[in-house]
Amino acid sequence: MEALGGYPVKSSGPKIRKLTVLLSMTVGVGCLFLLQPTRLLKPRKPVDFYSFEVKDAKGRAVSLEKYRGKVSLVVNVASHSEQTEEAYESLQELHKELGTSHFNVLAFPCGQFGDTETGTSSYIEAFAKSTYGVTFPFFGKIKMMGSEAEPAFKFLTDSVQKIPKWNFWKFLVNPEGKVVRFWRADEPMESVRQEVAALVREIIVKKRAEL
């Protein structure tokens, strides 16, 4: 190839091709870099009960992670069931006996069993505290069955392959967030107390051994 005046000029074709390839590689690497944070920030799928986030009785988001390392007795409660008075009294007694350092009763109101739980979440909590003197944590009213089932509670029922047939079923969750047992509403509370106390003792012994 000749320029004006007859002097030869080297072809720039190979250089242009090299620059094009280099630019393409740079853009590709840049795109991967930009996409990386999105991949890293993708929420993890909950793997145990304490991995879930739920709503409290006032509608605020609460992470169940705060209960990790403790034993939890998760109960679907109701204000106007035939078991309400007896159940709340026994649950409060257990909650008070074993304390909150290693154990909590966690109450989830559910209105899917007739007219046994018709109020709002905040009313349900206030009613239970004023009428029965309960001090354990209350969460927002949930559904346990159907497509709108609360994911955290669905984890419990899936773990034991049982759906509650009525109010006050109890699910025992260990410090790692795994469901280890459940009780129907009509089963003796003494059995619940013994199992919960055994898990609490395991926590205490383990902590003492680590000192």
- Residue 39: predicted pLDDT: 44
User: In whole angstroms, what separates CA 78 from the centre of its chain?
Assistant: 21
- Residue 211: predicted pLDDT: 85
Residues 31 and 53 in one domain: no
CB 12 within 8 A of CB 18: no
Residues 31 and 107 in one domain: no
Q: Enumerate residue ranges in the chain where pLDDT < 50.
A: 2-5, 7, 9, 21, 27-35, 37-40
Q: What domain range is 18 assigned to? A: 1-42
Q: Using a cut of 0.75, tell me whether the model's pTM lies above it.
A: yes
Domain count, the chain: 2
CB 62 within 8 A of CB 55: yes
Residue 200's contacts (CB-CB under 8 Å, 6 or more residues apart) are 71, 98, 102, 103
- Residue 87's domain is classified under what CATH number? 3.40.30.10
State pLDDT tens for residues 80-104: 999 999 999 999 999 999 989 999 9
